[in-house]
Amino acid sequence: MRRLSLILALLLSQPALAQAPAQAPAEDDRRSDEHSYAQPDKVRIANLGLDLAVDFADRQLEGHATLGLEWVDEAARELVLDTRDLAIERIEGRNGSRKWRELEFALAEEDERFGSKLTITLPRQYEQVRIHYATSPDASGLQWLAPSMTSGGRTPFMFSQSQAIHARSWVPLQDTPSVRFTYTARIRTPADVMALMSADNDPQAERDGDYTFTMPQAIPSYLMAIAAGDLVFKPISERAGVWAEPQVIDRAVKEFEDTERMIQVTESLYGPYRWGRYDLLILPPSFPFGGMENPRLSFITPTVIVGDKSLVSLIAHELAHSWSGNLVTNATWKDMWLNEGFTSYVENRIVEELFGKARADMEYTISRNGLREELKEVPEAQQVLMLPARAGSDPEEALGAVAYDKGAWFLQFLEQRFGRENFDAFLRAWFDQHAFQSATSEQFLAFLESELMVKQPEAVTREEVMAWMTAPGIPEFAPRIDSPRFAAVDAARASWLESREAARDLPTAEWTTQEWVYFLEGMPESLEPAQMVELDQAFRFTGTSNGELAQRWYPLSERSQYFEARPAMSLFLRKIGRRKLIMPTYEALVASEEGLAFATQVYEMSKAGYHPITRGSVESVLAKARDAADAGTQ
């Protein structure tokens, strides 16, 4: 009865729906995905076969996708798929190896956010449907780079970013994390280009322009991934290695040489790695994210290659997804915390095992400080882990600090209350018993009750769980972290701000990236120009190659009117496309009329090298600033 009371209370405490979901699901059915047109309750994709040619000149993929179907509803005669900007040539169906029969289909009017609903009418329930199509040069999930935008400067580059709902821009499918499928692929490229996918990439593969792939484990659509360019491989261990452009490969292998140790640590905590190989693909700096956990081949930004391994927690994060997210997936984006919150928690455990508790505590502190700042801007309805369904909402809204850092904080709370040994066994059982499945918050809560709360009834109350899951903000009883190393940074910063000590005399010789980040984040909103000059002369922040420092220094420079940083700031914004690193600077620039003009000029020089996702983010900030400026002049 206690399990029932917990879940029922959680459902009843959900905020009212802001508007009717696109699929009008029952309010207690969290598997209904309002971000997809698909109808997996009628038919589901079980396997996918791709045959695509990569055309760099026209910036498109062209070929066909063969969908192997599992029919759920005996009366169903329609297959509804998600697409965005796909040119559909024809669609066929068949059973077994019989002759293909052309099928009727209708492509609905495009929705700016969700693309076009593709409805295929079938005379009977075919086992296979084949769609002949081509992608758009402006596909939201693909980026095409001219040779000049790569490290080598001679070979073009293409890569995908399917999360959250961008897979539909390069493959017609059921673009929802509730549907998992296996896939095979044949990818044809120019002969001098190497192609890779989130599949069984062969480190010994010949570069011949014709590649085949198999992904035998079922994955959701957002983990579909492809890349093609001048890529070479070097091993880290028998099952792990790095793919990168030749100019980057050696630095990457050195920076990420602890990857095998990370795998072994995670296996010791949460069970075997179940995906065969674990390789890293180092993408150009235009990649919009830090990393993407595509199974067997994590996509990684080069901005974490700083020479001292201080940012390799990103590798721990993407590896952790091999258990949380890839193995056990959130059924919809409403439960994104099941993916990113779990992964951020596991990441921190890996960091603690490899680099010590002091570093893990510093990273937790930085992330939680960032969460507190983000909560100042996030509406209360979106500050909960168990998000309500909202028709028309952007699933990217779920990819914020609430899912990542509040989710991880909740799990650390459970760890402390139940004890680490018990909680580790609980998480391992969660991964084992839900492997290769898509799960909901209700399933997690039921598992939490049966595996921990019933056995240790005094450890955590139902009300405490509800406070994390459905209440905004951070509970007052959330565990706190004291970092002696950050206390020393606080003392040094205060000594300088109070003019008791010159910047060059501060005890910074042994500081890591984490301490420098905390030092800058604790500064006032703005400083006097003379203070900025002193800091820059002492620590050379302007022009730093460390993106974590740059993303904090340049906004501070702009707020402090330290315009001497502008040339280096411009180079940084033009070179880097990772949203986390560049958006704070754009947001600081647009706060003034003159800064808005400068930001617009820099963006015009930079946008050709930005991913479509990054372009959308920057253009939104610029547009809002222009609208505000126009309103102020009327």
Q: How far apart are CA 516 and CA 540, in angstroms?
A: 12
Active site (annotated) includes residue 404: yes
Rounded to 5°, angle at Cα 513 from 301 and 164: 30
DSSP 406: I
Burial of residue 625 (number of CB atoms within 10 Å: 0-12, 13-18, 19+)? buried
Question: Which 8-state DSSP code applies to residue 346?
Answer: H
Q: Is 82 exposed, middle or buried (0-12, 13-18, 19+ CB in 10 A)?
A: buried
318 is catalytic: yes
Instruction: Report the distance separating Cα 490 and Cα 511, nearest Å.
Output: 13
Contact present, 221 and 162 (Cβ < 8 Å): yes
Which tokens belong to 284? 């150009």
- Tokens at 418, concatenated: 């139940």
Distance CA 375, CA 373 (A): 5
Residue 53 DSSP one-character state = E
| CA gap 70, 67 in Å, rounded | 10
Q: Which is catalytic among the residues 255, 318, 449, 558?
A: 318
Rounded Cα gap, residues 390 and 175, in angstroms: 17
Q: Give the pair of three-digit tokens for residue 631.
A: 């309103």
Residue pointed to by tokens 């998000």: 387
Q: How far is CA 461 from CA 380, 423, 464, in A?
A: 23, 16, 5
Cβ burial of 554 (10 Å; 0-12, 13-18, 19+) is buried
Catalytic residue among 37, 345, 404, 562: 404
Annotated catalytic residues are 318, 404
